[in-house]
Amino acid sequence: MARWVMRLRGLVNCRNTCFRSVPGENAFVMFYCSCNTESSLRDKNKGREEEDEDNKIQASSYWGISRPKITREDGTHWPWNSFMPWEAYRADLSIDLSKHHKPTTYLDKVAYTTVKLLRIPTDLFFQRRYGCRAMMLETVAAVPGMVGGMVLHLRSIRRFEHSGGWIRALLDEAENERMHLMTMVELVKPKWYERLLVLIVQGVFFNAFFVLYVVSPKLAHRIVGYLEEEAIRSYTEYLKDIDSGAIENVRAPAIAIDYWMLPKDASLKDVITVIRADEAHHRDVNHFASGDHD
């Protein structure tokens, strides 16, 4: 039996394809219905343009590639390159600030004693100048996450294995602590000798913590956990001085308002409150990480 197909050339991307049996023949005639070549091509090109535009937006966060205009929710220009609007967040203010990991093992006691000894020169140098103290604290606090993330990154590519999400968690912690520092610098305006002290402390602490993390990540994370507990205490004292009027409750820096999604009329007290909540989160993460190395 003869088979024949009627083809309508030049018609592509048809919306409907209809099949109808032809009486007296064991064949089918293929009919192409509702075809429009020009409109189909236009739709395809439009889809490609939208896809290209999406790709441009996604890749625009990399340096060297011009980004599209980014605005806040109210339509005003986004001024920051260090973080984007979708990276801003609201701190968890309901977190337990009083939680304390009681030192039980030998390493726990070593970590706890080390942190207490480190607090002595800090108290002597800064006393109740909590703005400068916070600046120095954040200089130190921004190091462990970067060191831990770097060591785990190298181990991951050396052993060809995943990190279980710890690389990202630790690098996010380092970035968060760095944003704390950028905020405090806006408030404190450190003097030249304080900047010199930051340089010295960072150089010493980075190398010491790197060696410690390679030798005993369990001890390293426990030390950071206790450092964060001390940070919570320091920021609590900072808030007490603000409430008492000893420290002026000035307007919050613009970078803090955007980073923590604070109200436009946010004050220094609001900033210290969210930073303290962040420190409580880092405390929990590092104590958990230390226990995870058992």
The tokens of 200 are what?
């010295």
On whether the CB atoms of residues 280 and 176 are closer than 8 A, the answer is no
On whether the CB atoms of residues 139 and 202 are closer than 8 A, the answer is yes
Does 228 appear as a known binding residue? Answer: yes
Does 281 appear as a known binding residue? Answer: no
The tokens of 211 are what?
């060696």
User: For 193-197, which contacts have Cβ atoms below 8 Å and span 24 or more sequence positions?
Assistant: 194/132, 194/135, 194/136, 197/136
Rounded alpha-carbon distances, angstroms, from residue 292 to 57, 209, 269: 38, 19, 35
On whether the CB atoms of residues 244 and 260 are closer than 8 A, the answer is no
Helix (H) or strand (E) holding 45: helix 37-59
Does 177 appear as a known binding residue? Answer: yes
Note the Cα 260 to chain centre separation in Å.
12
Does 87 appear as a known binding residue? Answer: no
On whether the CB atoms of residues 141 and 177 are closer than 8 A, the answer is yes
The 3-state DSSP class for residue 14 equals coil
The binding site for Fe cation consists of: 138, 177, 180, 228, 279, 282
The binding site consists of: 138, 177, 180, 228, 279, 282
